[in-house]
Structure 1
Amino acid sequence: MRNTISISPSVSFVRADSQTVQVRGACPHDCPDTCSLLTTVENGVAVKVHGNPEHPQTGGVLCNKVSRYTERTYHPERLLQPQKRVGPKGSGQFEPVSWEAALTDIAARLKAIAARNPEAIVPYSYAGTMGQVQSESMAARFFNRLGASFLDRTICATAGGEGFTQTLGGKVGMRVEFFAESKLIIIWGSNSIGSNLHFWRYAQQAKRDGARLVCIDPRKSETAEKCHEHIALLPGTDAALALALMHELITHDWLDHDYIARHTLGWQALKERALQWPPERAAEVCRVPVEQIRALARDYGQCFTDRQPAAIRLNYGMQRVRGGGNAARAVACLPALIGAWRHRAGGVLLSSSGQFPVDKAALQRPELLAGRQPRTINMSTIGNALLAKTSAQFGPKIEALIVYNSNPVAVAPESGKVVQGFAREDLFTVVLEHFKTDTADYADYLLPATTQLEHWDVHSAYGHTDALLNRPAIAPLGLAKPNTQIFRELAAHMGFIEPCFSEDDETLCRTVYGDKVDFRQLLDKGFVTLNLPDAPFAEGNFPTPSGRCEFFSERLQAMGLDGLPDHVPNYETLGTSEQYPLAMISPPARNFLNSSFVNVKSLRNIEGEPVLEMHADDAAARGISSGAVVTVFNARGEYRVKAEVSARARPGVVNGLGIWWRKLGLDGTNVNQLTSQHLTDLGRGPVFYDCLVEVQAGQPGEPVV
């Protein structure tokens, strides 16, 4: 017998009996895969989350993290009631309060600050959920109406995004499913097995069909181990490598002259720049064997001469250095040189997010600003911003911070300053959260938010081209509310009476794409594939001002910047400091996603504890063995952690796997104690992997025994 359970007036789910239902949803986390989920619910309780086999990109398979999503939703430490701070900031001491009491007091505090200057109020959010509705719809309306400061959301991908925008016209590229047909796949700055699992399935299919896989990464990741070749360049030298590849393509005439002539801009200028980068020069900068560079160029050029597709999967690791934007630009130029875009299995993919027709204005309602132009705070320099006093340069001192979908005390760079800023007694802080994170410990009010299993949302993707709908599978636990509802109720307490604050979540879901995506299909299947060409740039038609792949960017030149891509050395270049002779990168631990899932016991048990991977030569020179507690330090701070002598680390580079909550570290810190608040050349992004350190057993200054 088939029965239905009603969720809203226009939606129902079919179930096999009166107790069990399967609900379609979408993974909300900061991952390119954006999987389609099926949640099995028994008697109102979610008992299992698994991949939707009907969704081609998911293929019924989930990563180890999301497959344990019920463990996170029903975690015994889940926040289920509003709480008010009763102890010192950072102590994590709270007492329960009612929603009415919390919202009334929060509104009163915000009104008082806004009466002086609403720009003293700052939102802080990022990709705790990637959903269009629960991330920036009702929240953006609230802050626009209030006149609060804007937040420049830069902490992940803006350097590469700007580089691609200046070269290809946006966050666009080849469709991920066609990597399965490629004959050469270059995986650049990505541990795909841990952070892009469903792309890895396509790469494996191509490998079985004879494709060659090359991984470019300072760390010998799980992905690098499975590729035919690993090029372990130094952090921040990717543009030098890309320019040397161009040099070889030019000197050996592995070039599609017709494609270059018809579909690119600035070829002669790029040619002159690339010819300054012979493989020998790049090998010295990257500290890799020169023959590796020549061989990769030969493989890439051979794809042109043999009319075989070559594809590059670029990820975000390589852009988190000073020259990250230029590096992304340089790599984005490569496919046009050999005409790789002619093939549907050729080209490059960094992010597909620019291809989704999201109606941001309808979601965020910028007209609520009423002509105001608030200042902008860069989330990557929140430490400096919180410590700045009122000035002509910075504007008003930040008096209130509302944090949602983020854990800045753990994830923002130079966290010693971030903690100092959050610890200000005169800073009013509200945090919407699932758990008592490092950031939550500094809140004045904690507001319990729903997880993905408990609310509506619509998702775009940045690793494929399917739009997804998330339905609530269970009722909100305890007194938790969706972000949208929290901001609706807060707006009401502030006296905001505009009709847009009354729109429900299903209406917001329909607003995301307007008439550009059939919402009925989303309701019926849970996903809709965008109607896009298989080979989007086979005949040019790039979304740039010229319609061409712009090797030379007149827009950058107009801003006083170099119109051509170039190698921009790190702020902290290896070999320039006797005091800090090691470069440090902080790639994600495989079983965490940024700082999410760190408190899921089964996943933390797999990871074990925070570690610093060191090459045997670097460890031996310092008398360090695996398991020893070491201090990693630079001028910004210290971080105590256990060392792991590992072949995953290359000489001169240590890998501080992240992002652990600070409170779980040996001394209450994590790897971001050492990273800086410098910004990238393009996109105003952070430079997490542009960081020099020293490592010593024991405390700094102590003799090594």
Structure 2
Amino acid sequence: MVTVEDGRPVRMRGNPDHPYTRGALCVKVNRYLEQTRAPDRILHPMRRVGPKGSGRFERISWEEALEEISVRLRGIVAEHGGQAIWPYLGTGTLGYLQGCEGVAGRRFWNTLGAAKHWLNICSAAGNSGLRLTNGSAGGMDPENFAQARLILLWGTNPLTSGHHFWKFVQDAKANGAYVVAIDPIRTRTADQADQHLAIRPGTDAALALGLLNVVLAEGAQDEEFLARHAEGWEGFREEILRYPVETVAEITGIPAEDIHSLGMRLAHTRPTAIRATMGIQRNEGGGTTMRTIAAIPGVTGDWRHPGGGVSYSTSDHVHLTIDTREDLLPAPVRTLTMTRLASELAKPDSVKCLWVYAANPVGSTADSNGIRKQLEREDLFTVVMEQFPTDTVDYADIVLPATMQTEHLDLHAGYGHLYLLWNEPAAAPPGECLSTTETFRRLAAHMGMTEPALFDSDLELAESLLSSGHPSLEGITVDRLRKEGWVRMNYPEPFTPFAEGFPTESGRLRFPPPGKAYVPSLSARTAGAGPYPLTLITPAPHLFLNTSFGSNPELRRRAKDPVVLVNPADAEARGLVGGQRVRVHNAGGAFLADVEVSDRVARGVVATPKGRWPKLSPGGANPNAVVGERDADLGRGAVYHDNLVEISPA
């Protein structure tokens, strides 16, 4: 909710009537209006005048920008084909009109025949694993955690990266629920849990099997649910029996008595709710991890109980029509993978135009050193649509000023709840900033395109989104959303999505086949050996949202200089002391940070938050300098928590 006086937003707060947010804003968003007026806001189109990477630009008009872009795009298409253009869209804007949820700008790119963009940076591995088991990545309504009696917060830290959800955990605790945090780091959330299990990174699927081993020993599997709603049970049962508690203790680093104790709770507590979000699947075995965790409520029958099951993302419960007009493509085109930016740009049939929007790959994507090298290419025409002068902007040929949330119209559906939300602009854009949709409308017109779908207004696009005919959207219209602000989709309360079956071909949950229930991560296979014996975890920061807000002076002041958490035993072995500046490095690169000696990380694990702008950090790098361009086992997901490093004095 934004209060506007004389056309100027003066106050922003959460809506106290909203059942999920209950009026609260996180520490990041509390300063949002301040951010819209920041002195480093990009307000006008700019053209590069210095070397790539220098960040030196001159102001130009929109007409000049559109003309230069049009000439370059036409030339690239004529000489190299449309597939030499890569529209690199990130998660900086999540709206269904202006951002990645609706694949903003795709109609325009299809008309040009540009390459497709595989947005795999966030949740792809986990989504793939869940769909293999359940047929959908959608699961529990997070609000129903209030009804749970046992809650497993598995690889998730909601007090930093999703605090609205925490209210429902508190409600459950008030009703006697037992809360367990399973995380390699003792996070803020772990501090508030009844128990913290410091798991070895990338071994979560083994723990899931070990817990189910106890459930079987207790005879606590739900035979009726298994018979009616599952397939592959006998094979999966045999797989579970291969993971007794003692074996799982060796794999995970968790004491056997703690695994057995939690297994007993899982066996005899209904409903049990599991919250496992994106961090847990950012390793080589991440897809299988979510596939196997999703099997737990299939064995225990928790899906039949309100307050039972698994919650990862609610996105698959959103059935909007995403019409990117594939029919506009002149021919089939290649798909380029987001987390492989450096290597894709380095290929012989390389990209000739990189168009970056809602993304900051120099600060957010694996192999940041390789990305910088490729962005220095003079033959790579780079356009960046941005709000602030990020490290990626510094390499642009043309910079286009983008609107922020309070300045454009959008339709949202959070991946942590079941509501559609209308975003009406609260103020006119400053300077010459344009929304994503308006930018592509103007560019299409300047290039002489005539396809009517390229010029649909934002309201027309919103109407199209709501036209799927799915029962969850019945009665939800643009007029209603504009009037009410938010509407819960048509799901019952409480919502038990798989109580009577699953959206698979057979209508049944599909257990992982034998030998496919645990894929150890790189760090789980090799940690402690070789020249890089430490596993680096890069969790979400408390004060930044990925690299969004990374230039905010107050948030940077509060965040202080980057730190790396090091277990006391690892610090002593290397002669490191608290506050010492160190170099965290591997064969791919290095970054600088200050040591914080802490038992919040187990021996062999080090941790530093993501989200820093390299150019505003010591040494000009961030943790992605040591993150490799490797894929998870499913969905080509990213591996931000599966990298081996060493630490030396700087």
Q: TM-score, normalised by structure 2?
A: 0.97
Pairing 1:471-510 to 2, within 5 Å after superposition: 471-510=424-463
8 Å contact kept, 1:265–1:552: no
> Which of the numbers 520, 541, 544 marks the counterpart of 1:592?
544
CA distance in 1, matches of 2:621, 2:499: 52
**Other structure's SS at 2:88 match:** strand
Q: Give the 3-state SS of the residue equivalent to 1:436 in structure 2.
A: coil
Q: Does 1:522 align with 2:474?
A: no
Q: Establish whether residue 131 from structure 1 lines up as the match of residue 95 from structure 2.
A: yes
Q: SS of 1:280's equivalent? A: helix
CA contact (8 A) 1:540 1:549 kept: no
Q: Could you tell me which of 346, 355, 368 is aligned with 1:402?
A: 355
Amino acid at match of 2:490: N
Q: 1:70 aligns with which of 33, 42, 62?
A: 33
Work out whether residues 574 and 582 of structure 1, in 8 Å CA contact, stay in contact via their aligned partners in 2.
no
Q: Which runs of 5+ in 1 are unaligned?
A: 1-37, 391-396, 554-561, 699-705
Amino acid at match of 1:582: L
Alignment check: 8 A CA contact 2:291 2:512 kept: no
Q: Measure how far apart 1:312 and its partner are.
A: 0.3
8 Å Cα contact 1:431-1:447 kept in structure 2: yes
Aligned mates of 2:204, 2:288 — CA distance in 1: 9
**How far, CA to CA, are the matches of 1:624 and 1:571 in structure 2?**
23
Aligned counterpart, 1:224: 190
Higher deviation after alignment, 667-676 or 538-547: 538-547
Letter in 2 for 1:519: V
For residues 597 and 267 of structure 2, the distance between their equivalents in structure 1, rounded to whole angstroms, comes to: 38
| Cα offset, 1:645, TM superposition | 1.1
SS for the counterpart of 1:458 is strand
Distance in 1 separating the partners of 2:526 and 2:196:
21
CA distance in 2, matches of 1:100, 1:563: 59
Q: Is 1:531–2:490 an aligned residue pair? A: yes
- After TM superposition, what 4+ stretches of structure 1 lie above 4 angstroms from structure 2? none
Q: Equivalent residue of 2:67, what SS?
A: helix
1:294-340 CA-to-partner distances (Å, cap 9, x unmatched) read 1111111111xxxx311001111110000000000010000111111
The residue number in structure 2 matching 1:547 is: 507
Deviation of 1:578 after TM superposition, in Å, equals 2.6
- Post-superposition offset of 1:567: 3.2
Q: In structure 2, how many angstroms separate the alpha carbons of the residues matched to 1:486 and 1:569?
A: 42
| Cα displacement (A) at 1:537 | 4.0
Q: Secondary structure at the match of 1:236?
A: coil
Q: 1:316 aligns with which of 248, 254, 278?
A: 278
1:122 deviates by 0.3
Whether 2:366 is the aligned partner of 1:413: answer: yes
AA paired with 1:44?
G
Match of 2:294 among 313, 317, 332: 332
Q: Check if 1:91 corresponds to 2:54.
A: yes
**Following the alignment from structure 2 to structure 1, what is the Cα–Cα distance between the partners of residues 307 and 527?**
40
- d(CA) in 2 for partners of 1:224 and 1:290? 20
Instruction: Report the equivalent of 2:594.
Output: 642
Kindly state the Cα deviation for residue 368 of structure 1 after the two structures are TM-superposed.
0.9
Contact 2:200–2:524 at 8 Å: present in 1 too?
A: no
Partners of 1:64 and 1:591 within 8 A in 2: yes
What is the one-letter code of the residue matched to 1:275? L
Contact 1:138 1:488 (C-alpha < 8 Å) held by counterparts: no
Change (3 A) 1:40 1:535: closer
Partner of 1:211: 177
Secondary structure of 2:226's counterpart equals: helix
Contact map agreement 1:81 1:96 (CA 8 A) in 2: yes
Instruction: Please give the alpha-carbon distance, in whole angstroms, between the structure 2 residues aligned to 1:406 and 1:454.
Output: 18
Structure 2 CA distance for aligned equivalents of residues 333 and 575 of structure 1: 28
1:451 aligned to which of 394, 398, 404: 404
What is aligned with 1:654? Answer: 606
Superimposed CA distance per residue, residues 664-688 of structure 1 (whole angstroms, 9 cap, x where no aligned partner): 1211110000001110100111111
For 1:423 and 1:201, locate their aligned partners in 2 and report how far apart those are by CA, in whole Å: 47
SS at match of 2:151: strand
Structure 2 match to 1:281: 247
Aligned to 1:389: 348
Letter of the aligned partner of 1:240 in structure 2?
Answer: A
Distance 1:453 1:538 in 2: 37
CA shift at 1:563, angstroms?
8.0
- State the alpha-carbon separation in 2 of the partners of residues 297 and 167 from structure 1: 21
Residue matched to 2:617: 665
Match runs of 1:181-200 below 5 Å: 181-200=147-166
Distance in 2, matches of 1:187 and 1:333, equals 16
Q: Distance in 2 between matches of 1:463 and 1:615?
A: 33
- Aligned counterpart in structure 2 of residue 180 of structure 1, from 146, 158, 162: 146
Give the alignment partner of residue 243 of structure 1, picking from 209, 219, 230: 209
In structure 2, what is the equivalent of residue 693 of structure 1?
645
Which residue number in structure 2 is paired with residue 575 of structure 1? 527
> 1:572 offset after TM fit, Å?
6.8
Contact 1:342–1:535 (CA<8 Å) still a contact in 2? no
Distance 2:105 2:478 in 1: 23
- What secondary structure sits across from 1:488 in the alignment? helix
- Residue 575 (structure 1) shift: 3.4
DSSP 3-state at the match of 2:487: strand
Task: Check whether the contact 2:202–2:524 (CA below 8 A) recurs between aligned residues.
Answer: no
SS at match of 2:428: coil
Aligned length: 640
1:488-512 CA deviation, whole Å, 9 max, x = no partner?
1111122211111221112212222
Report the secondary structure of 2:295's partner residue. Answer: helix
CA contact (8 A) 2:567 2:600 kept: yes
| Residues 377-433 of structure 1: per-residue CA shift (max 9 Å, x gap) | 10011011111112xxxxxx1110000000011110011111111111111000000
Structure 2: segments with no counterpart, 5+ residues: none
* Alignment correspondent of 1:294: 260
1:121 paired residue number = 85
The answer for the alignment partner of 1:633 in structure 2 is: 585
Q: 1:19 maps to which residue?
A: none
Superposed CA deviations along residues 137-180 of structure 1, whole A, max 9, x for unmatched, are: 55111111110011110001000000011111112111111101
Is contact 1:572-1:691 (8 Å) kept? no
CA contact (8 A) 2:183 2:198 kept: yes
> How many Å apart are 1:456 and its aligned residue?
0.3
**TM-score, L = length of structure 1:** 0.89
Which amino acid counterpart does residue 96 of structure 1 have in structure 2?
R
State the distance in 2 between where 1:612 and 1:513 align.
46
Q: Which residues in structure 2 correspond to 1:554-573 (within 5 Å)?
A: 564-570=516-522, 573=525
Change (3 A) 1:365 1:536: same
Q: CA deviation at 1:652?
A: 0.7
Q: Does the CA contact (< 8 Å) of 2:297 and 2:310 recur in 1?
A: yes
Distance 2:41 2:148 in 1: 45
Opposite residue 672 of structure 1, the aligned amino acid is N
1-structure distance, mates of 2:314, 2:522: 28
Aligned position for 2:312: 350
Q: Secondary structure at the match of 2:525?
A: coil
2:527–2:535 Cα contact (<8 Å) kept = no
Conserved 8 A contact 2:125-2:635: yes
**Partner of 1:220: helix, strand, or coil?**
coil
In the other structure, the counterpart of 1:683 is: 635
Q: Residues 330 and 137 (structure 1 numbering): CA distance in 2 closer, same or farther, change over 3 Å?
A: closer
Percent identity, please.
Answer: 41
Q: Find the aligned partners of 2:87 and 2:607 in 1 and give their Cα distance.
A: 32
Pairing 1:112–2:48 present: no
1:44 has 2:3 as partner: no
